[in-house]
Amino acid sequence: MRPLHLRHHVAYKWIALSCTTLGVLLAMINTSSLLIALPAIFRGINLDPLHPSNFTYLLWILMGYGLVAAALVVTAGRLGDMFGRVRMFKTGLIVFTAAAVGLTLVWSDGSTAALEIIILRMIQATGGAMMMGNSAAILTDAFPADQRGLALGINGVSLLAGSFIGLILGGLLAAVSWRLVFAVNVPICIAALLWAFLQLREMGERHPTHIDWLGNITFAAGIAAILTGASYGIRPHAGSMTGWSNPFVIGAMAGGAALLVAFVFIELHVDEPMFDLGLFRIRAFAAGNLAVLLSSIANSGMQFMLIMWLQGIWLPLHGYEFEQTPLWAGIFLLPMTLGFLVAGPISGTLSDHHGARPFTTTGMLLGAASFVLLMVLPVDFSYWQFALVLFLNGVAFGMFASPNTAAVMNSVPARDRGVASGMRSTCNMLGMPLSQAIFFSLMIVGLGANLQPAMLTGLTAHHVPVALAGQLAHMPPTSYLFAAFLGFNPLAKLLGPTVLAALPAADAHALVSKTFFPSLIGTPFKDGMVDVLIFATVMCLVAALASWLRGGKFVHAEALATHSHAGDARRRQRERAATEPATESEMG
């Protein structure tokens, strides 16, 4: 029979897993449910999401959470090392819960309500950063090295599962009330708070030091500036379809890069840095973080692209009303979740014994293959083919995620697990808005090449006045992209009742039908999608190379113990040589 203290430790590791998994699940349900519920939210606060002046609100509601979380997660991990990882996790839950209550009770209307939602989402992201920055470190403290892959695999599955649960929940709840999308988080938050405060306890090392304010500020400001610039790169500027030539975008990204250079200089010269840059000398740590950044860039924006493909084209072509497409898009993406659910825990468990390299490398190669297969699918695909590719994609990123996380966390000293968890989360979160900005930009450029002539020809063929048809054809492609993403039929809105009433009844009916807009945008969308998929494929291949270069299985504590044992053996040998009598051969 096991000693009592060992039985308590065995029980506690599963408690730690349940608490952190619930926190991650909560954050992802909150984020993804918003994607599907955006049309209902904008209708509920009486704000037109397709009006050009409201695009900024749409952009910040979509990307503001990720921007703040990416900027703060390393700081949250460092504070966990200093003051307690469990304490920071619990504080994050409190902040997250308070913001969820505030979002449920948004009190204004129009643009003011949108601003309130943005601010409260940023507060919520602060709490999310505290949870995400410390959850992997809490699990690493609680689980032995040969079980961390399994634990982090289960934790990673909850991350993706939460994103797709959120898609379905968002679609169902938004049909009743937009406030329910935020309100559903509150009871889950309260349950998670009670469980965490009753059961979680500190097990990791704590090293109180002075806070490196300058390092924290320059890092957070640098990340925030780069992501803000990237987000505004999606917006049209001065006649260009994208905003990458906008002086604000160039200045924000250049200023952010300069701040990060200053951060490196500061960290190399302060006595107690926020982040020990020497950790990047550990090959497993450096390669693992590079791989997770590249994989995040490759895949994070893909969900948006697939949702637009389903909502704007495939589902209407198959008889679904535009208003119904957000919910059904979430349902039709479930094979990806299933693939992740299958591969995540299995690969995590196997990597505990065989190391991360074979699983992370193979996962990224399979991810590249899934993107190539998406390229060859027609716009109006057979769903079983699409579902198989989605399943392969889920398996690929499930194979990668938990072994890579376990390898990164195993590679650092126990005292640095919080900040290491924060850096890994930063690389993951940094990839999300960068991926969205890059993918949208590539899609816009691809659309722009063929959308205008297709739109002009299609509209004039149905007797829309040439001047109006030309005006609509030259609208920025972002308007049509976000219409597809939000589940709107943009032509019904853009033409308006007056123009439609003046057209022949058959033409008016055809223009606002389920199939006209999807048929019109289908070929240009696929052209843009190919550009996106080529980029994603390249990112996966480079991530596979980074994964291979990480080396074999490496656990810092075990390596340190081996080195210490070897040193002890050499020391004992020297002591014996100094005290034992010399042999005849040695005397002779």
Same domain for 156 and 286?
Answer: yes
Q: Please say which residue of 223, 243, 273 terminates a domain.
A: 273
Domain count, the chain: 2
Task: Confirm whether 495 is domain-assigned.
Answer: no
Dihedral angle over CA of 244, 248, 253, 259, nearest 10: 170
Same domain for 306 and 221?
Answer: no
Report how far residue 72's alpha carbon sits from residue 425's, in angstroms, rounded to the nearest whole number: 10
Q: Interior CA angle at 467 toward 464 and 472, to 5°?
A: 75
Same domain for 175 and 79?
Answer: yes
Return the closest-CA partner of residue 21 out of 145, 147, 159. Answer: 159
Q: What's 310's DSSP letter?
A: I
Same domain for 264 and 395?
Answer: no
Return the closest-CA partner of residue 224 out of 98, 112, 74. Answer: 74
Q: How far is CA 507 from CA 95, 475, 515, in A?
A: 53, 22, 13
Same domain for 134 and 88?
Answer: yes
Task: Confirm whether 367 is domain-assigned.
Answer: yes
Query: Residue 577: its pLDDT value, please?
Result: 46
Task: Confirm whether 486 is domain-assigned.
Answer: no
| Helix (H) / strand (E) containing 234 | none
Task: Confirm whether 48 is domain-assigned.
Answer: yes
Q: Please say which residue of 228, 243, 273 terminates a domain.
A: 273
Q: Model-level pTM? A: 0.81
Same domain for 307 and 371?
Answer: yes
Q: What CATH number is given to the structural domain containing 147?
A: 1.20.1250.20
Task: Confirm whether 569 is domain-assigned.
Answer: no
Query: Residue 207: its pLDDT value, please?
Result: 64
Task: Confirm whether 573 is domain-assigned.
Answer: no
Task: Confirm whether 26 is domain-assigned.
Answer: yes
Tokens 């309260």 belong to: 190
Task: Confirm whether 568 is domain-assigned.
Answer: no
Query: Residue 541: its pLDDT value, please?
Result: 97
Report which residue type is found at 69. Answer: A
Query: Residue 205: its pLDDT value, please?
Result: 65
Q: Please say which residue of 273, 293, 314 terminates a domain.
A: 273
Same domain for 348 and 229?
Answer: no
Q: Is 237 helix (H, G, I), strand (E, B) or coil?
A: strand
Query: Residue 259: its pLDDT value, please?
Result: 93
Which token pair is 411?
């590679």
pLDDT digit string (tens) for the chain, length 588 residues: 444 444 445 578 888 888 888 887 887 787 777 877 887 888 888 887 777 777 788 888 888 888 888 888 888 888 888 888 899 999 999 999 999 999 999 988 888 999 999 999 999 999 988 988 888 788 888 888 778 777 777 776 777 677 777 877 877 888 788 888 888 888 888 888 888 888 888 876 666 667 788 888 898 899 889 888 888 888 877 777 788 889 999 999 999 999 999 989 998 888 888 777 888 888 889 999 999 999 999 988 888 889 889 988 899 899 888 777 877 887 898 898 889 888 888 888 888 888 889 999 999 999 999 999 999 999 999 999 999 999 999 999 989 988 888 888 888 887 777 778 778 878 888 888 888 888 988 888 888 777 888 888 888 998 888 888 888 888 777 777 777 667 677 787 778 888 888 888 898 888 888 888 888 888 888 988 999 999 999 999 999 999 998 877 766 655 455 444 444 444 445 444 444 444 433 333
Same domain for 281 and 137?
Answer: yes
| Domain membership of residue 29 as a residue range | 4-200+274-449+521-557
Return the closest-CA partner of residue 136 out of 338, 429, 431, 334. Answer: 429
Report how far residue 162's alpha carbon sits from residue 165's, in angstroms, rounded to the nearest whole number: 5
Query: Residue 361: its pLDDT value, please?
Result: 94
Same domain for 245 and 281?
Answer: no
Same domain for 289 and 155?
Answer: yes
Report how far residue 79's alpha carbon sits from residue 234's, in angstroms, rounded to the nearest whole number: 34
Same domain for 269 and 287?
Answer: no
CB 78 within 8 A of CB 274: yes
Which token pair is 55?
């695009």
HSE-CB at 137 with a 13 A cutoff on CA atoms is: 40
The packing angle between helices 516-548 and 417-460, to 10°, is: 150
Same domain for 261 and 383?
Answer: no
